[in-house]
Amino acid sequence: MTTTALPLVEHFALGLDAPICLTWELTYACNLACSHCLSSSGRRDPRELSTDECKAVIDELQRMQVFYVNIGGGEPTVRSDFWELLDYATSHDVGVKFSTNGIKIDAEAARRIAANSYVDVQISIDGATADVNDSVRGEGSFDTAVRALQHLADVGVSPKLSVVCTRYNIPQLDQFKAIADRFGAQLRLTRLRPSGRGADVWDDLHPTQAQQRELYDWLVRNGEGVLTGDSFFHLAAYGESLPGLNLCGAGRVVCLIDPVGDVYACPFAIHDQFLAGNVRSEGGFDRVWRESELFLELREPQSGGTCKSCDQYDACRGGCMAAKFFTGLPLDGPDPECVKGYGEMALSKVTPGAAPKPSLDHSHKGGVRGGPVPLTLTIRRPDKACDENPLTGVQL
């Protein structure tokens, strides 16, 4: 793709007839309470799409020829109709890639996955050791993930091992690769964005400039064997573009359907400003995708703003819209993690607390038992004094 990508990227930037990277979060419910959760998940939303409504969405995706959906959450497997929906999608020409923390991946689930050749599974870990992982994802979550990997390996399924890169796990890149190799998995590295609860921990968890360089060199060395989606195209400003999608596809080739059917420009942009419509409305998802004002606006040629004068603009394109938005930076300027340091400069001028907050929060009130204990974090909590209720535990 790399040699012919440029003209195609221009087409992608103007939008496609249907998304190619569609994320569908089936539920906000989750057994964990990861400190960086992009969707601030925890509790189920009572307005969640019903089984029949989900099937109607799948019918629509089939008509639109959306080749596959990336199913996530929350923890999608805690929905009681999860496997039913999975089979429904794959028997209607919609492939499924789903992300899970592994909680429901026992021997039987692994066999089900092995039996359906249109399903890919992705297990999340955020540390190559239990201490680093559990400090972000909660006590026992590393063991849960490893158990799931073992069940999958036992039936010959090759999953993806999905890692959000943080300050604490960048030194573990080779170890992640070793774990992936051990279970016959493919490693997928993604970027920590200040979305959802991620905004609260971003300052403490996002990689340092030196680590970004380390990550870039590591990715260049490991080439196409490691997946990155659209995560690191802002690092292309170091020189060489990386395999994967090298542009912000929000509303152009990417979008999110959330558990209640709201359609956002990107899974990392759950905010009213990026809300395009709802699948329950007249005309359904198809009309939202084709006609929403927000999406049409995003498909207009972008000005580039202050980045336009940068000699790396063609490679980096100013980076990630969501990362800029939730750190309070203008959307047409540099990414907060701009490799040239312009982002840091711009961040220093943002009034503390002025960055927009996510519009939704389904976090467990008062956390969960064995929830994440930060290594050295200073989490900024919203100052709601009565937010502590010792009786609220994990509720699935």
* Residues at the contact surface with other proteins, assessed by CB under 8 A: 4, 7-8, 11, 16-18, 20, 65, 67-68, 93, 95, 117-118, 120, 224
Give the one entry of other proteins, ligand SF4, none that residue 118 binds, where binding means its C-beta sits below a cut-off of 5 to 8 angstroms depending on kind: other proteins
Give the one entry of other proteins, ligand SF4, none that residue 85 binds, where binding means its C-beta sits below a cut-off of 5 to 8 angstroms depending on kind: none
254 binds ligand SF4 (CB under 6 A): yes
User: Which CB, 291 or 388, lies closer to other proteins?
Assistant: 291
Residue of 272, 291, 271, 267 lying closest to 281 (CA atoms): 291
Residue of 315, 320, 42, 344 lying closest to 197 (CA atoms): 42
Length of the chain as a residue count: 396
269 binds ligand SF4 (CB under 6 A): yes
198 binds ligand SF4 (CB under 6 A): no
Considering the complex, what minimum distance in angstroms separates the CB of residue 158 from other proteins? 11
Residues in region 64-93 near ligand SF4 by CB under 6 A: none
User: Which CB, 160 or 193, lies closer to other proteins?
Assistant: 160
Choose which of 15, 196, 243, 334 interacts with ligand SF4 (CB under 6 A).
334
User: Which CB, 164 or 269, lies closer to ligand SF4?
Assistant: 269
User: Which CB, 253 or 329, lies closer to other proteins?
Assistant: 253
User: Which CB, 189 or 321, lies closer to ligand SF4?
Assistant: 321
335 binds ligand SF4 (CB under 6 A): yes
Q: List the structure tokens of 348.
A: 């220093």
Dist CA 216 CA 231 (whole Å): 11
235 binds ligand SF4 (CB under 6 A): no
Give the one entry of ligand SF4, other proteins, none that residue 20 binds, where binding means its C-beta sits below a cut-off of 5 to 8 angstroms depending on kind: other proteins
Considering the complex, what minimum distance in angstroms separates the CB of residue 152 from other proteins? 17
Partnered with residue 254 across adjacent β-strands are 21, 250
Give the one entry of other proteins, ligand SF4, none that residue 320 binds, where binding means its C-beta sits below a cut-off of 5 to 8 angstroms depending on kind: ligand SF4
202 binds ligand SF4 (CB under 6 A): no
What is the CA angle 286-290-294, rounded to 5?
Answer: 120
CB 274 within 8 A of CB 301: no
For 304, half-sphere exposure in the C-beta direction (CA atoms, 13 angstrom radius) is 11
Residues in region 274-303 near ligand SF4 by CB under 6 A: none
Q: List the structure tokens of 127.
A: 């540390």
Phi, psi angle pair for 103, to nearest 5°: -55, -35
Dist CA 272 CA 141 (whole Å): 32
Choose which of 49, 110, 152, 237 interacts with ligand SF4 (CB under 6 A).
237
Give the one entry of ligand SF4, other proteins, none that residue 347 binds, where binding means its C-beta sits below a cut-off of 5 to 8 angstroms depending on kind: none
- Quote the distance between the C-alpha of residue 319 and its chain's center: 16
318 binds ligand SF4 (CB under 6 A): yes
Residue ranges that bind ligand SF4, judged by CB under 6 A: 193, 230, 234, 237, 248-250, 254, 266, 268-269, 307, 310, 312-313, 316, 318-322, 334-335, 338-340, 342
